[in-house]
A and B are shown apart, each in its own frame.
Chain A
Amino acid sequence: MHFIWKRLLATIPSLFGVVILTFLLSHALPGDPAAYFAGPAANADSIAEVRQKLGLDRPLIVQFLHYVGDLARGELGNSLTTGQPVLKDLVDRLPASLELSAFALLFAIGVAIPMGVLAAIRLNGPADHACRAIVTVCAAFPTFFIGLLLVYVFYFLLGMAPEPLGRLNEILYTAPPRVTGAFTVDALIAGDMEVFRASLAQLVLPAISLGLFALAPIARITRAAMLESLSSDFVRTARSSGLPTSKVLFTYAFRNSLLPISSVMGMVFSFLLGSNVLIEQVFGWQGVGAYAVSAVLASDYAAVQGFVLMMAILYILLNLVVDVLATLIDPRVRFEG
């Protein structure tokens, strides 16, 4: 517990850095927000008036202090495009993105870890060659391409998947009452199996598109970490003690491989949150990625700022989780920490 508190305190400087960065970033964006707000019919005077009203004429440091003050009150400003507070927009859409990323990660883990373990156990065997081929193919194609390909094959040609138009076919089904914001989870909570199946069906293709991309690094690190553990002295000791193969493989070799695997998994999950931006476009997924893209296109200042800030906080939290996992896996980390 002590370790976790220390680690939490250590996130404060990075959070502060992120706040400065998002502030400067939005000021570096092309386009003059004052001109944008003033509208197409504005002249120089009315733009200057708007600029004054928005406080954009004041020194940067004053603007920054205002920004920090707003953040402290949970005030991220209003979005130009939706007219809603940015915080509300993000909170509304984040669960959709997290749901998608989580399913993608689960799919990737479910395939990559057994594959990597098998490849390491049967080194240079058929499983190892298959693993290498799959990893190469998955790493070679961009996610949006795989997404489009899957839509073409499974929706257009085979008709197995539902229309790739969002999280739920709102004509046939009603979204479940919001608890977590993830449709699959909320449907389960509401006990509505029909909606659960429908939302799951919508999830499959985008989650696999994202997951295939995530699969390569996880499989690769699993194989490498397992190979290292399997050739270690302590696995030799376990073998010489006549421990059963399953125990040698899992309790000894695999558990010792978990540290590198978990840190790569944290990295992959943050990749996934980033790749959402593309995949949400392809599948009409109403997540934060799609929101961010339209915000950038509309020079929607506050929304972009809010999105970047939220992603940064997510990354920090994710790293925290990975570090806490590391202490659970490896007792040595606790003492070095």
Chain B
Amino acid sequence: MTDHLTIKDLGLEFRTRHGVVRALEDVSLTVKRGEIVGVVGESGSGKSVMAYSVMGLSDAAAEIKRGSIVLGGMDLLATKGEALRAIRGREMAMIFQSPRTALNPIRKVGRQIEDVLMEHEAIPRRDLRKAAIAALERVRIPDPERRYDAYPFELSGGMCQRVMIAIALACSPSLLIADEPTTGLDVTTQAVIMDLIRDKSRDGRMSTLLITHDLGLAGEYCDRIVVMHAGHVVEVAPTEVLLSRPAHPYTLQLLAATPTPTSTLDTLPSIGGQLPDLRRDLPPCRFSERCARKLPQCDVPPLPWTTLSPDHIVRCRVPL
């Protein structure tokens, strides 16, 4: 399989009133065609920031300092304005958490799907409705003809997320970014939505980037997992390898902190310390302050990438 999305050495900063926040540093990852890659890390690790910079939807205060993002041979960072708009929704699409607020509250959901179709597909006006209903059908919404006329507030959270997926998949994009797509949904609905995303990726040979803080969820649905911490990628490995033989101490702690059917809140360990303040001068390894295995040489730059096997790399001087 060939690499479809390649992010290389991405560095991104936010200019804020309280100083420059170095939100991403040397972030590299690839997603092959038809592959589901999970990006895992706690809140503030930079996973969403990374996703938004792929879509070109970064906050106005964000500035990309280094690196490249290439989608199917196209340099996304060099693509601006109309050209970028033509790719969004057509080549790459994104779904968000809290699907209720992600949909326009005063527009029928069918019309919101039509908006995307009208923009990117050459569908005659009179066939738009049919195409929108077909899109609703593809995400397994029961009674799509009737749902076409529904407003988001008339639908459940799970239904809204399906509509959101229908909008994202309307033009069969080659890359889908799902940013915490099941947060706020109940467990049964979570599974339905994730199955849907997986099936659609497989059918459409679509590359999928799943952003989540839930390592369990990523473990179940992803081919490979990228672990992020404080704006760094710390470990990349195939899912089974990462779950069975984690090499970065942070990954190990994340795994230990993932709930299992038998664990209770009391027995579940949490990761000590906090994310470092990204406005300060930071040590080469941003995890070192929270790491029990820290050695003196950890503070000597540069922090190397250690290759354990061709597809398992870790950013630690002394991997597990």
- Chain A residues within 8 Å of B, Cβ to Cβ: 232-234, 236-245, 247, 251-252, 255-256, 329-332, 335
Most A CB atoms within 10 A — which of B86, B96, B102, B104? Answer: B104
The chain A residue sitting closest to B106, CB to CB, is A330
**Inter-chain contact A243/B119, CB cutoff 8 Å:** yes
Which one, B101, B153, B168, contacts A234 given CB within 8 A?
B101
Most B CB atoms within 10 A — which of A236, A242, A251? Answer: A242
**Inter-chain contact A243/B105, CB cutoff 8 Å:** no
Q: Could you give, for residues 153-191 of chain B, a 1 whenever the CB lies within 8 Å of some chain A CB and a 0 otherwise? A: 100000000001001100000000000000000000000
**Inter-chain contact A241/B102, CB cutoff 8 Å:** no
Residues on A with beta carbons closer than 8 Å to the beta carbon of B138 = none
Size of the B side of the interface (Cβ < 8 Å), in residues, is: 28
**Inter-chain contact A255/B98, CB cutoff 8 Å:** no
B36 within 8 A of A: no
B93 within 8 A of A: yes
B55 within 8 A of A: yes
- Chain B residues within 8 Å of A, Cβ to Cβ: 55, 57, 85-90, 93-94, 96, 98, 101-107, 115-116, 119-120, 151, 153, 164, 167-168
Q: Decide: A331 near B151, CB < 8 A? Known: A233-B98, A241-B89, A243-B116.
A: yes
**Inter-chain contact B93/A251, CB cutoff 8 Å:** no
Closest 3 CB pairs of A and B: A242-B89, A242-B88, A241-B89
**Inter-chain contact B106/A240, CB cutoff 8 Å:** no
Q: Decide: A236 near B88, CB < 8 A? Known: A241-B115, A243-B119.
A: no
Residues on B with beta carbons closer than 8 Å to the beta carbon of A242 = 85-90, 116, 119-120
Give Cα distance in the complex from A240 to B119, angstroms: 12
**Inter-chain contact A240/B101, CB cutoff 8 Å:** no
Q: Sample 12 A-B pairs with CB under 8 A, ordered by A number.
A: A232-B101, A233-B98, A233-B101, A234-B103, A234-B105, A236-B57, A237-B103, A237-B167, A241-B116, A241-B119, A242-B85, A243-B115
Which one, A233, A245, A256, contacts B102 given CB within 8 A?
A233
Residues on B with beta carbons closer than 8 Å to the beta carbon of A335 = 153
**Inter-chain contact A252/B104, CB cutoff 8 Å:** yes
Residues on A with beta carbons closer than 8 Å to the beta carbon of B93 = 240-241
Q: Decide: A241 near B88, CB < 8 A? Known: A232-B101, A332-B153.
A: yes
Which one, B57, B120, B151, contacts A240 given CB within 8 A?
B57
Residues on A with beta carbons closer than 8 Å to the beta carbon of B120 = 242
Interface of A is mostly: helix
**Inter-chain contact A240/B94, CB cutoff 8 Å:** yes
Give Cα distance in the complex from A243 to B88, angstroms: 8
Residues on A with beta carbons closer than 8 Å to the beta carbon of B104 = 234, 237-238, 252, 256
Which one, B85, B106, B115, B151, contacts A329 given CB within 8 A?
B106
B40 CB to nearest chain A CB (Å): 22
Residues on A with beta carbons closer than 8 Å to the beta carbon of B94 = 240
The chain B residue sitting closest to A331, CB to CB, is B151
B28 CB to nearest chain A CB (Å): 23
Give Cα distance in the complex from A46 to B96, angstroms: 83
User: Could you list 19 further interchain pairs (A-B, Cβ under 8 angstroms) beyond the known A238-B115, A256-B105, A331-B151?
Assistant: A232-B101, A233-B98, A233-B101, A234-B103, A236-B96, A237-B167, A242-B86, A242-B120, A245-B85, A251-B107, A252-B104, A252-B107, A255-B106, A256-B106, A329-B106, A330-B105, A332-B105, A332-B106, A332-B151
Most A CB atoms within 10 A — which of B88, B106, B107, B120? Answer: B106
Which one, A234, A239, A252, contacts B88 given CB within 8 A?
A239
Give Cα distance in the complex from A233 to B120, angstroms: 21
Q: Decide: A251 near B115, CB < 8 A? Known: A236-B102, A332-B151.
A: yes
Which one, A232, A234, A236, A244, contacts B119 given CB within 8 A?
A244
Most B CB atoms within 10 A — which of A243, A244, A251? Answer: A243
The chain A residue sitting closest to B151, CB to CB, is A331
Give Cα distance in the complex from A330 to B90, angstroms: 29
Give Cα distance in the complex from A193 to B93, angstroms: 56
Give Cα distance in the complex from A262 to B116, angstroms: 29
Residues on B with beta carbons closer than 8 Å to the beta carbon of A233 = 96, 98, 101-102
Q: Decide: A331 near B106, CB < 8 A? Known: A236-B57, A239-B57, A242-B120.
A: yes
Which one, B85, B86, B90, B96, contacts A237 given CB within 8 A?
B96
Give Cα distance in the complex from A255 to B98, angstroms: 21
Residues on B with beta carbons closer than 8 Å to the beta carbon of A332 = 105-106, 151, 153
A336 CB to nearest chain B CB (Å): 10
Give Cα distance in the complex from A335 to B106, angstroms: 13
Residues on B with beta carbons closer than 8 Å to the beta carbon of A255 = 106-107
**Inter-chain contact A240/B115, CB cutoff 8 Å:** no
Residues on B with beta carbons closer than 8 Å to the beta carbon of A234 = 101-105
Residues on A with beta carbons closer than 8 Å to the beta carbon of B96 = 233, 236-237
Give Cα distance in the complex from A237 to B94, angstroms: 8
Residues on B with beta carbons closer than 8 Å to the beta carbon of A243 = 85, 89, 115-116, 119
The chain A residue sitting closest to B153, CB to CB, is A332
B286 CB to nearest chain A CB (Å): 28
